[in-house]
Amino acid sequence: MTNEEHTDTARGATPNAETAAAEAKVEKMFEYGYRKSNYGPDELVTDAHGNPISVVDAMLSAKDAAKAETSTPHLCYYSPRIPGNTGSAIRLCAVTGTILHLVEPLGFNLRDTKLRRAGLDYHDMAHVVLHPNFEDLVESMPDSRIIAFTAHATKLYTDIEYRPTDILLFGPEPGNIPDPMDIMAGPYVAEQVRLPMRPSLRSLNLTNCASIAIYEAWRQLGFAGGA
């Protein structure tokens, strides 16, 4: 082999080595909670040993959620219907350290593509708890104050001094099904509050409302844990 051929071979090996190193680096990113780039749309994430896990397996249990120390109140969606809103809420909770409680029945499948399209990656599901009914939420968080956000309230959301143990409760998105006032104004609700808006206009998007509420509560609590 001539010196020129040897140099060409060496030159050819360098890009290959660099490519392999880059691929290894990218592959290392896809650890627990991250979907690999070649996964199909309905393929599951894997645990630290490469075993598949389901979406529900990636969630918190109600027991663990009750024990968790948080810097923001908990957020609860009662019977949400629009997957994109819940997907956005999951991302909201991931970036603020909030725990999201979803109370069934849900109006969608948790693997819904619109839910994922809203920015969800399965690692964010570590901030989510699924409850079969509202009573299960109440029983799992007996020492928490439930604050319901509803247009029927007279008190503004800024009139509350929030605690990390609070649960901020939001009902279903507007639609043909009336708001569940037996829940939103029920005996377990400590306070009812509303967001101000111009009269005779439709309500804000559900997760826009939740974002305003969570960030106000977090502001009051000094943005603890934030950067």
pLDDT digits (tens, 9 = 90+) for 64-114: 999 999 999 999 999 999 888 988 898 899 899 999 999 999 988 776 666
> Cα separation of 79 and 133, whole Å?
9
The top-level CATH class assigned to 59-220 is alpha beta
Q: Phi and psi (nearest 5°) for 36? A: -70, 155
In which residue are the tokens 């968790």 written?
A: 68
Q: 22 versus 16: which is more confidently predicted? A: 16
Q: Is 206 annotated as a binding residue?
A: no
Is 200 flagged in the annotation as binding?
no
Q: Please compute the mean of the pLDDT values over residues 183-196 and round it to a whole number.
A: 95
The token pair at 164 is 């990390």
> Would the annotation count 195 as a binding residue?
yes
No. of helices (H) and no. of strands (E), the chain: 7, 9
- Structure confidence at residue 56 (pLDDT): 67
- Report DSSP state, residue 37: T
Compute the distance between CA of residue 169 and CA of residue 214 in angstroms, rounded to an integer.
Answer: 11
Domain boundaries, the chain: 3-53, 59-220
- Average pLDDT of the segment spanning 42-64: 67
